[in-house]
Structure 1
Amino acid sequence: MNNALHLIEACLRNDRTAQKQLYLQFKDKLFVLCLRYANCHDDAEDILQEGFIKIFRDLHQYKGAGSLEGWMRKVVLNVALQYVTKQRKLKFESEDEFMDNNNWEDTQTEQENDLFNEHLAKGLIQLMQNMPVGFRTVLNLYVLEGYTHQQIADQLEISVGTSKSQLNRAKKHLREALHKSLTN
């Protein structure tokens, strides 16, 4: 924690070496967050860059309550959400509920599992990037960020019902895309 405080203080003094160190320490984790909201790799890089600009600009607002990484994630998440709304007006469709749980049996070795999981994660990110923006945004906020439907509705200025239907449609869309990719 002491090192983190020194790093923050150096960044606040516009120490370029400290800023680079902070960037290198967190860029990969934050880039994964950006990929979940972007349409492509280049857009994710733009979100990350804009996020770090805001992080360095607003670093004086971080008061040490909670983790620095958590604070940085929140800043980048807000940039990603602004990106989503700037790209186009979110067009939300209504209704159509769907719930389905798949249980996967673990039949592979740990190394095979790691390779499979890495490949699966890359495939899921690609499938999510091809998903309509409204679906992807609600799915990310609910499943990956842990937002409630009320928080999503407030953040995106939609109704709670729309948030729920978008989540269900996103799950259905993702399931169909997974099925299609696995049968090809």
Structure 2
Amino acid sequence: MEIEKDLINACLQNDRVAQRKLYQAYAGRMLVICTRYAQSKAEAEDILQDAFIKIFQNLGSFRGESTIGAWIKRIVVNTAIKHIRSQQHWQDVSDVSEYENQFTDGLTSIEGIQFQELIAMIQKLPKGCQTVFNLYAIEGFQHHEIAEMLGISEGTSKSQYSRAKQLLQTQLSLDKIQR
């Protein structure tokens, strides 16, 4: 923890070596997060770059109430959400019942699916579905929180998530047939 504090203080003094160390310590893990929200590797790298600019600009506001890793992750997720919101990929569905109860307990088994294959499947989802799926299923946010973050209705969040599950289930089924 003391090493982390020293690194942060050095970054605040615009020490380029310290900034590079902080970037190298977290960039790989944060790129994985960005990849889940992006349609391509290039888009994920752009989101990551924007996030690290914000991280270095706002490092002075880090209060140490959580780990630096958790603080960085929050900025990365928020940067990805802002990027997505700017693209307006929402499909407003007022009748959530058309998607509800189509599934038993989530997706079909993903046994045998490699991580990169799963990421590729998530990236193929329509942007709105992809974002809500990531926020709900992976990041653990509730639909009312997602709605607030994205400026959409809670029903839209639920329908986007249900549609994402349906599309992923279809992709998993097709993948299973092809194996």
Report how far residue 164 of structure 1 moved. 1.3
Query: How far, CA to CA, are the matches of 2:160 and 2:147 in structure 1?
Result: 11
Distance 1:179 1:153 in 2: 30
- What TM-score does the superposition give when structure 1 sets the normalisation length? 0.88
| Aligned residue in 1 for 2:160 | 166
Contact 1:34 1:80 in 2 (8 A): yes
TM-score, with structure 2 as normaliser? 0.90
In the alignment, structure 1 residue 99 sits paired with structure 2 residue 93: no
Query: Could you tell me how far apart the structure 1 residues matched to 2:110 and 2:56 are?
Result: 43
Q: CA deviation at 1:99?
A: 2.2
Aligned to 1:24: 24
Q: What is the aligned partner in structure 2 of residue 129 from structure 1?
A: 123
Q: Is the 8 A contact 2:7 2:18 kept in 1?
A: yes
Q: Which runs of 5+ in 1 are unaligned?
A: 106-115
Structure 1 pair 61–71 and aligned structure 2 pair: CA distance change class (3 A): same
**Corresponding residue of 1:34:** 34
Return the alpha-carbon distance in structure 2 between the equivalents of residues 57 and 182 of structure 1: 46
User: Quick one: structure 1 residues 104 and 60, their matched pair in 2 at CA, closer, same or farther if it must change by over 3 Å?
Assistant: closer
SS of 1:63 mapped into structure 2: coil
* Structure 2 CA distance for aligned equivalents of residues 121 and 135 of structure 1: 19
- Residues in 2 aligned to 1:19 and 1:27: alpha-carbon distance in whole angstroms: 11
CA separation in 2, counterparts of 1:73 and 1:103?
28
Overall identity of the aligned pairs, in %: 39
> For 1:178 and 1:69, how far apart are their aligned partners in 2?
32
Deviation of 1:87 (Å): 2.6
Query: Structure 1 residues 36, 103: closer, same or farther in 2, change over 3 A?
Result: closer
Name the amino acid aligned to 2:116: K
Q: Number of residues paired by the alignment?
A: 172
In the alignment, residue 67 of structure 1 is paired with which amino acid? T
Provide the residue aligned with 2:138 in structure 1: 144
1:179 to 165, 173, 176: 173
Distance 2:172 2:87 in 1: 26
2:5 aligned residue = 5
Conserved in 2, the CA contact under 8 Å of 1:92 and 1:134? no
SS class of match (2:64): coil
Q: Report the alpha carbon displacement of residue 103 of structure 1 after superposing the two structures with TM.
A: 5.4
Name the aligned partner's letter for residue 167 of structure 1. Answer: Y
What CA RMSD, in Å, does the superposition of the two structures yield over aligned residues? 1.6
